[in-house]
Amino acid sequence: MENVAKLKKEFLEYLEIEKGRSVKTVENYDHYLKRFFEFAKIGSPESITEDLVRKYRLYLNRADLDKPTQNYHVIALRMFLKYLSKRNIESLDAEKIELAKLPQRELDLLSSEDLERLLASPTGNSPKALRDKAILEMFFSTGLRISELCGLAVDDINLKRGEFSVRGKGGKIRVVFLSDRAKSALANYSEKGGVVDDERLFSMTPRSIQRMIKKYAVAAGITKKVTPHVLRHAFATDLLQNGADLRSVQAMLGHANISTTQIYTHFTDRQLKEVHRAFHGRRRK
């Protein structure tokens, strides 16, 4: 009979080594599974049953956790069960556990006017202004996650080609592209602003970048909260508004599943509604 504590440890090692997950991701899975086993008080994987999982989900729901957080716990458990199945260890079939349905989340979207004011906010030729301008243009041009941007090295960027490779979630590599405005901002930053660190392109922490964007959003008169992820949304919706297909946007965002990218279709559906309202049945009025 296999011991669940030993199996959990081996599963976390499998995630880190074979699946190439980040240390932070492995820590999250450890946290979620620890919660399950503290609740379940079982010693063997055979003891994981549908009834036990149902009681665990009631426990999570009554612990005042929001639905997405509850799902994260369940996803970790399903991944563990799939790992057991892969090793031919008897336990509950992961497919018998369904995730809770979540309401479609609303996107934090910037109007084109707000976006332009934000991108134009860093002014002057000081090293700081040139750096901040380059960061904002990079976010909108590439759709990078903040962790991806902070991890960029000077040698990663090919201004002549206007494209470069980035390692995203799960260690997956994708190509991202620079607009003419982003190339110009980066060139100005490199030539006039100077790169402080010989290795890193931007010597800033994620937190300092978040504060910088908030400062320029306030200066631009934008009342809603603006974050690096809001600029990632702006990148995706701009592509879709201008005719890009969902699969291409998925590839450029680095989403593993098309379902993640489909949150943007809600926005384009609203745009279609406006087109319908403007052009349909005009002769009947």
- d(C-alpha 128, C-alpha 176), whole Å: 25
Give me 202's structure tokens. 């931007």
Clarify whether 277 is annotated catalytic.
no
- DSSP letter assigned to residue 153: B
Cα-flanking dihedrals φ and ψ of residue 99, to 5°?
Answer: -75, 150
Q: Which of 169, 174, 200, 214 is catalytic?
A: 169
Q: Which of 145, 183, 189, 233 is catalytic?
A: 145
- d(C-alpha 123, C-alpha 130), whole Å: 8
User: Could you tell me if 118 and 216 are in contact, meaning their C-beta atoms sit under 8 angstroms apart?
Assistant: yes
Residues 6 or more apart whose CB falls under 8 angstroms from that of 250 comprise 258, 260, 261
Looking at the DSSP bridge assignments, the partners of residue 163 are 158, 177
Clarify whether 133 is annotated catalytic.
no
User: Could you tell me if 233 and 107 are in contact, meaning their C-beta atoms sit under 8 angstroms apart?
Assistant: yes
Clarify whether 83 is annotated catalytic.
no
Clarify whether 264 is annotated catalytic.
yes
Give me 247's structure tokens. 């699969």
Cα-flanking dihedrals φ and ψ of residue 38, to 5°?
Answer: -65, -35
- d(C-alpha 24, C-alpha 86), whole Å: 24
Q: Is 52 left (phi over 0), alpha (psi -120 to 50) or beta?
A: alpha
- d(C-alpha 276, C-alpha 141), whole Å: 30
Q: Which of 8, 183, 232, 233 is catalytic?
A: 232
**Kindly report the CA angle at 239 between 168 and 245, in degrees rounded to 5?**
85
Catalytic residues: 145, 169, 229, 232, 255, 264
